[in-house]
Chains A and B, each alone.
Chain A
Amino acid sequence: MSSPTSAATCDSPLPLRIEALVKRFGKVTAVDGVTLELRSAECLGLLGPNGAGKSTLIRSIVGRVIPDSGTTTVFGAPADSAAARQALGWIPQEIALYPRLTCRENLQSFGRYHGLGGATLAQVIERCLDWSMLTDRADELVRNLSGGMKRRLNMAAGLIHQPKLVLMDEPTVGVDPQSRNHIFEMIEKVRLEGMSIIYTTHYMEEAERLCDRIAIIDHGKIIALGTNGDLVRNAFGTRSQVLAHFGGSPDRVIPWVAARGGHTIDGIAQFTIAHPVEIASLLEDSTKAGLELVDVSLRKPNLESVFLHLTGREMRD
């Protein structure tokens, strides 16, 4: 899918460089001094809850939001310049397609908007249809497609002009697990071709599966940046997590868990321990407190744990 220039050399400008970007909407600061770099052929995940500022950051990169301060360059060109527009592909969170046009007609329209035409356009349309597994539905009206198919075509429309950098804004929102897997396959294909990707999501498993590095964003700020392993290691070191399910009234359980330095999420108490042997003393204390243990398990911390650790909140809050 990508163009031959996707694999940038060391001397090439970075696919994306954001410096001290700030965007306010009235009194709300949606993006608060974000500085970020995307390396060539890298997939960088922007992980954060709804309203964290992910979409505003993406929209400022594609020039749809004018930042209050800060700079953004795409392969060295200012965002919203003609060169940046041509180098950028944007897959918005919404199904931004013409419902009364067929899949092929949609791709033709967006291709023409990017200046493509003739045999080149016909060729890339076929490639996009193939990539999105919609070749057999090419002449189907978009409004008649399933949700998953619309999502895939939405992605194909963002890549019709063969951009070198793609911004994917929660491309799996509202799709079933099977369609989600199709989408993952599509993304993995273009990754293999060396395309640089910014991928926003609030699903940690997507970030873990697809992204080389992950930026955790909350309240418009990047609060952690690194590989999945780096983030967990930095937050927890070698510590592990104990998940315990206690019976009885939550009014008794939650204060006790909090007093022990843990969190209760969906009725499950979570504790961080340095050594597995600490489980024994934890369970003993709960018995002394009169709590009835139903279930207990030990796990390695994940991105969800990192987010909780950094913000004191769940990703889904």
Chain B
Amino acid sequence: MLAIVRTAMVSLCRDRGALALSFILPVVFFSIFAVIFGGRRDSTPKVSVIIVDEDHSRASQRLVKGFQSEGSLTVKIRPAPVKGTDQPEYTATTAEAAVKAGRAPVALIIPHGFGDNPISFGPAAASRPTIQLLEDSSDMIAPQVIAGLLQKVALTSMPDVMAEQGSRYFDQFTGGLTREQRERVDSALRSLREREESGATMAASSASANGGIIAVTARAVVGENKNNPMVSFYAAAIGVMFLLFTASGAAGALLDEVESGTLDRVLSSRVTMTTLMLGKLTFNSLLAFLQLVVMFLWGWAVFKLDFWSHIPGFVVMGAFTALAVAAFGLLLASICRTRAQLGALSTLVILIMSSIGGSMFPRFLMSEAMQKAGLFTINAWAIDGFTKIFWRDEPISHLWPQVLVLIGFAIVLFAIARRVARRWEYA
């Protein structure tokens, strides 16, 4: 038995790929997951929220200020400057368009008249203007965070407004205060207001997010008509990950040909290395595209994915994603010397790419640093493109950033693969 253990140990030690898989992969994945979910404080993801203040009242401004002071939020009042020129503040219409375009997962619209009657301790009056929460339901977290924070901010940023409103309720239900009592209350409210306006620290509050004191009407502006909203996301996310595996496996045929001597024979004919690799790239791209077609058709047949009305966008994203993953597969194959090495390296690289690129978890769950790191992966751009088509119903013309980046990936990866493959050309 010891002989068997010894033989197995020696074999493992000589197989560097397997050794890497055995020890490095778990450590790498532990680190990635720890960074994604463990959350170092300085890189905890911030929730983006667009706020439109249509009211411009003291109460609404307090509310906006309260949101802006929340460390966990990135509050957007206006779009990012274009060519150094400040853009006008968001309106209800532009904010809704921005959510639909995926620039923020949620928008708050503070309507006209909000400041007249901002909070309600009892059942909200039907006529009272309510804050609108426009949400992108592909992000399951952000709208709930904002809804909860709205109640919290109302309590912590507008104590004077609350007291004033409470006083009004008191007047309404008790028949009013005496003149002396009224003066005292007004004086207390004044000092509370002055204290708030002077920027004194706000006391923390533990208001419940649900059934809160601020009336909110939530409305999904993206994905509200989808049969099964997350299916398109997962079809793209899982699809791209397996595309990468398929592409590296298919590119491994090159290594088989090297090993069997077939590559030498092919290169002794009219076929050049560039022609050969372009042929492999074309075939592997077609294979990857076909794989995507099968996956999305399955999504349509079983999970009611709205496939047929998005064919043009699917073809564009599918074709360029397939091209990029095929080039990626060729690069991996050209770097490796054996199938075993390719298996180990592709597992390592693809799982890392998939985890930080959003194939395993939506990228909005990750820290900002990880979200930025994800931009170096094919997964992130492919998923973004498919999401634009299937989730946001955006026109094909909006896919140009994803298409350009995927083409860039394909060109760079193929060029490197071709350069590395020179070692097979001549001895």
Q: Does A65 contact B (CB under 8 A)?
A: yes
Contact, CB under 8 Å: A96 / B262: yes
Given contact pairs A59-B427, A95-B260, A64 touches B268 in the complex (Cβ within 8 A): yes
Contact, CB under 8 Å: B270 / A114: yes
Contact, CB under 8 Å: A64 / B260: no
Partner of B260, one of A25, A59, A94: A94
Size class of the A contact interface (CB-based, 8 Å): 20 to 34
For chain B residues 232-276, which have a beta carbon within 8 Å of chain A? 260-262, 264-271
Given contact pairs A94-B261, A96-B261, A66 touches B427 in the complex (Cβ within 8 A): yes
Contact, CB under 8 Å: A82 / B260: no
Contact, CB under 8 Å: A65 / B261: no
* Cα of A161 to Cα of B260 in the assembled complex, Å: 21
Smallest CB-CB separation from A82: which chain B residue? B270
Q: Does B308 contact A (CB under 8 A)?
A: no
Q: What's the least CB distance linking A15 to chain B, in Å?
A: 16
Which segment, of A84-92, A268-276, A284-292, faces chain B?
A: A84-92
* Cα of A86 to Cα of B270 in the assembled complex, Å: 8
Given contact pairs A59-B427, A65-B427, A97 touches B270 in the complex (Cβ within 8 A): no
Q: What's the least CB distance linking B424 to chain A, in Å?
A: 10
Q: Does A118 contact B (CB under 8 A)?
A: no
- Tally inter-chain residue pairs, CB-CB below 8 A: 53
* Cα of A96 to Cα of B261 in the assembled complex, Å: 5
Q: What's the least CB distance linking A316 to chain B, in Å?
A: 24
Report A-chain residues with C-beta under 8 Å of the C-beta of B23.
Answer: none
Contact, CB under 8 Å: B265 / A110: yes
For chain A residues 56-91, which have a beta carbon within 8 Å of chain B? 59, 62-66, 82, 85-86, 88, 90
Report B-chain residues with C-beta under 8 Å of the C-beta of A95.
Answer: 260-261
Partner of B265, one of A63, A66, A90: A90
Of listed B265, B267, B271, B426, residue having the most chain A CB within 10 A: B265
Given contact pairs A59-B427, A64-B427, A66-B427, A85 touches B260 in the complex (Cβ within 8 A): no
Report B-chain residues with C-beta under 8 Å of the C-beta of A85.
Answer: 268-270
Given contact pairs A110-B269, A113-B270, A66 touches B426 in the complex (Cβ within 8 A): yes
* Cα of A88 to Cα of B265 in the assembled complex, Å: 11
Smallest CB-CB separation from B259: which chain A residue? A94
Q: Does A46 contact B (CB under 8 A)?
A: no
Report A-chain residues with C-beta under 8 Å of the C-beta of B268.
Answer: 62-64, 85, 88, 90
* Cα of A269 to Cα of B270 in the assembled complex, Å: 52
Contact, CB under 8 Å: B271 / A64: no
Smallest CB-CB separation from A167: which chain B residue? B268
Q: What's the least CB distance linking A127 to chain B, in Å?
A: 18
Report A-chain residues with C-beta under 8 Å of the C-beta of B262.
Answer: 96-98
Report B-chain residues with C-beta under 8 Å of the C-beta of A177.
Answer: none
Contact, CB under 8 Å: A113 / B260: no
Tell me the interface secondary structure of chain A in the complex: loop
* Cα of A59 to Cα of B267 in the assembled complex, Å: 11
Contact, CB under 8 Å: B264 / A113: no
* Cα of A293 to Cα of B267 in the assembled complex, Å: 57
Report A-chain residues with C-beta under 8 Å of the C-beta of B265.
Answer: 90, 92, 96, 110, 157-158
Report B-chain residues with C-beta under 8 Å of the C-beta of A98.
Answer: 262
Smallest CB-CB separation from B425: which chain A residue? A64
Contact, CB under 8 Å: B270 / A115: yes
Contact, CB under 8 Å: A113 / B269: yes
Q: Beta-carbon contacts of A160-178 to B below 8 Å, as 1s and 0s?
A: 0100000000000000000
Report B-chain residues with C-beta under 8 Å of the C-beta of A94.
Answer: 260-261
Smallest CB-CB separation from A30: which chain B residue? B427
Report B-chain residues with C-beta under 8 Å of the C-beta of A96.
Answer: 260-262, 264-265
Report B-chain residues with C-beta under 8 Å of the C-beta of A114.
Answer: 269-270
* Cα of A110 to Cα of B266 in the assembled complex, Å: 7
Report B-chain residues with C-beta under 8 Å of the C-beta of A62.
Answer: 268
Q: What's the least CB distance linking B283 to chain A, in Å?
A: 13
Contact, CB under 8 Å: A92 / B264: yes
Smallest CB-CB separation from B271: which chain A residue? A113
Q: What's the least CB distance linking A156 to chain B, in Å?
A: 12
* Cα of A182 to Cα of B115 in the assembled complex, Å: 100
Q: What's the least CB distance linking B372 to chain A, in Å?
A: 44
Report B-chain residues with C-beta under 8 Å of the C-beta of A99.
Answer: 260
* Cα of A96 to Cα of B426 in the assembled complex, Å: 17
Report B-chain residues with C-beta under 8 Å of the C-beta of A86.
Answer: 270
* Cα of A62 to Cα of B269 in the assembled complex, Å: 9
Q: What's the least CB distance linking B246 to chain A, in Å?
A: 17
Report B-chain residues with C-beta under 8 Å of the C-beta of A110.
Answer: 265-266, 269
Q: What's the least CB distance linking B260 to chain A, in Å?
A: 6
Smallest CB-CB separation from A98: which chain B residue? B262
Q: Beta-carbon contacts of B396-427 to A below 8 Å, as 1s and 0s?
A: 00000000000000000000000000000011
Contact, CB under 8 Å: A65 / B426: yes
* Cα of A96 to Cα of B257 in the assembled complex, Å: 8
Report B-chain residues with C-beta under 8 Å of the C-beta of A64.
Answer: 264, 267-268, 426-427
* Cα of A174 to Cα of B425 in the assembled complex, Å: 27
Q: What's the least CB distance linking A77 to chain B, in Å?
A: 14
Q: What's the least CB distance linking A186 to chain B, in Å?
A: 18
* Cα of A116 to Cα of B271 in the assembled complex, Å: 12
For chain B residues 35-58, which have a beta carbon within 8 Å of chain A? none
* Cα of A157 to Cα of B260 in the assembled complex, Å: 14
* Cα of A63 to Cα of B426 in the assembled complex, Å: 8
For chain B residues 164-197, which have a beta carbon within 8 Å of chain A? none
* Cα of A97 to Cα of B259 in the assembled complex, Å: 11
* Cα of A98 to Cα of B254 in the assembled complex, Å: 12
* Cα of A157 to Cα of B266 in the assembled complex, Å: 11
Smallest CB-CB separation from A158: which chain B residue? B265
For chain A residues 111-130, which have a beta carbon within 8 Å of chain B? 113-115
Report B-chain residues with C-beta under 8 Å of the C-beta of A92.
Answer: 261, 264-265
* Cα of A99 to Cα of B253 in the assembled complex, Å: 12
Of listed A25, A65, A92, residue having the most chain B CB within 10 A: A92
Q: What's the least CB distance linking B254 to chain A, in Å?
A: 13
Can you report 14 residue pairs joining A to B where beta carbons are below 8 Å apart? A64-B264, A64-B267, A64-B426, A88-B268, A90-B268, A92-B261, A92-B264, A96-B261, A98-B262, A99-B260, A110-B266, A113-B269, A113-B271, A157-B265
Identify 19 new A-B residue pairs, CB closer than 8 A, beyond the known A85-B270, A110-B269, A113-B271: A62-B268, A64-B427, A66-B426, A82-B270, A85-B268, A85-B269, A88-B268, A90-B268, A92-B261, A95-B260, A96-B262, A96-B265, A97-B260, A113-B266, A113-B269, A113-B270, A114-B269, A114-B270, A157-B265
Q: What is A's interface to B at a CB cutoff of 8 Å? A: 25, 59, 62-66, 82, 85-86, 88, 90, 92-99, 110, 113-115, 157-158, 161
Closest 6 CB pairs of A and B: A94-B261, A96-B261, A113-B269, A96-B265, A96-B262, A65-B427
